[in-house]
Amino acid sequence: MLVCDDEPVLRELIRVSLGAGYRYAEAGSVTDAIASYREVEPDLVVLDLMLVGGSGLDVLRAIRRGDRAPRTPVVVVSAWSDEANRQAVEEEGADLFLPKPFAPEQLVDWVEGLVGSKKRAGDA
């Protein structure tokens, strides 16, 4: 899992919510997020739109540029939950948009669903 959020406390919340079943990499800035993505090749990215040094959309674009099939699922978590932002996120190729504040169980359900489907796609 790659967890990108400028707030360390929210990175921790996401990590604790998803539980000990995954290994985690964390990033607070755009450059860190892109570097970590390339380094760890995560199974899934949880991405905040507000990052140090830029927008989560920059990270999303970088991920989609270098994507191989099956593509890495990306869950965008953001407080900027208006329609324009959701649309931008969708156009850039995010799989799901989760507005803040969110219920941890919702995140868990979505992440498990995405990881499962990726696994199945990879196995196929």
Partner 1 sequence: MSARILPRTLVGRIVGGSLVAAVVASAALVVLLVSLLGLRRSIDEETRSNDTVNAALVLEGRVSTYESALHAYLLTTNRGFLGSLQQAQRELAPAHARLAKLVAGDAEEQRRVAATWAEVQSYVQDYAVPLVNIARLDADAARGSVAANEAKRRSDAIDSGFSGVIGLERARAAARSDSVRTDTTRAIVAAVAAAVLAVLLIVALGRWVARHVGGRLARATAAASEIAAGELTVRLPEGGAAELAELARAFNGMARSLEHGRRELLAQNERLVASEQQKSELITMVSHELRTPLTSLLGFTNLLLARSFDESDQRRYLEIVHRESRRLAAIVETFLDLRSIEEGRLELQRQAFDLAQLAREQAGFLLAHAPEHTLGLDLPEHEAVVLADRDRLSQVVANLISNAVKYSPDGGSVEVVVLVADERVRLEVTDHGLGIPAEDQPRVFTKFFRGQAAGRGIPGTGLGLAVAREIMEAHDGTIGFVSAPGGGSTFWIELPNHARATGARPVEPPREGRGPNLRVVGG
User: Which residues are near partner 1 by CB under 8 A?
Assistant: 6-7, 9-10, 12-13, 16-17, 29-30, 50-55, 79-80, 100-105
| Smallest separation (angstroms) from partner 1 to the CB of 53 | 6
| Smallest separation (angstroms) from partner 1 to the CB of 97 | 14
Q: Find the angle CA(16)-CA(18)-CA(24) to the nearest 5 degrees.
A: 80
| Smallest separation (angstroms) from partner 1 to the CB of 124 | 34
Q: For residue 82, give the DSSP letter.
A: S
For 66, counting Cβ atoms within 10 Å of its Cβ (0-12 exposed, 13-18 middle, 19+ buried), the class is: exposed
